[in-house]
Amino acid sequence: MNEASGGHKTLWRGPVLAWAALLVLAAISLASAYLPLGAGNVALNLIIAAAMAVVLAIFLMDLKSGTMLVRVVAITGLFWMMFMFALTFSDYLSRS
């Protein structure tokens, strides 16, 4: 019976820690909205958003214990997303 309860604890540990980390990052993002940092607010919020994405990828998408193929597919998706953003921004900046 002890093993079953220990298994449930380890099953929920990752998602609960990810949830707590996301809540802390959301609170930091909310607090940064009230800080007069000028252009630093954008940079700070982009860093917070990147940290949130890393937490989601590692814990909730289970990339930490995923196979190499799953990791390669995730990195490839990230690469193509950056490529599409670059094309979109280049089109936006080239218009007069």
75-85 pLDDT, tens digit each: 899 899 999 99
* Model confidence at 63: pLDDT above 90: no
pTM of the model: 0.70
The per-residue pLDDT for 92 is 87
- Are 45 and 32 spatial neighbours (Cβ–Cβ below 8 Å)? yes
In whole angstroms, what is the distance from residue 63 CA to residue 5 CA? 25
**Same structural domain, 50 and 94:** no
**Same structural domain, 13 and 58:** yes
**Same structural domain, 51 and 37:** yes
* Model confidence at 10: pLDDT above 60: yes
Count of the separate structural domains present in the chain: 2
Q: Tell me the chain's radius of gyration from C-alpha atoms.
A: 19
In whole angstroms, what is the distance from residue 14 CA to residue 26 CA? 18
Work out the average pLDDT over 61-68: 84
**Same structural domain, 13 and 56:** yes
To which residue do tokens 């890393």 refer? 54
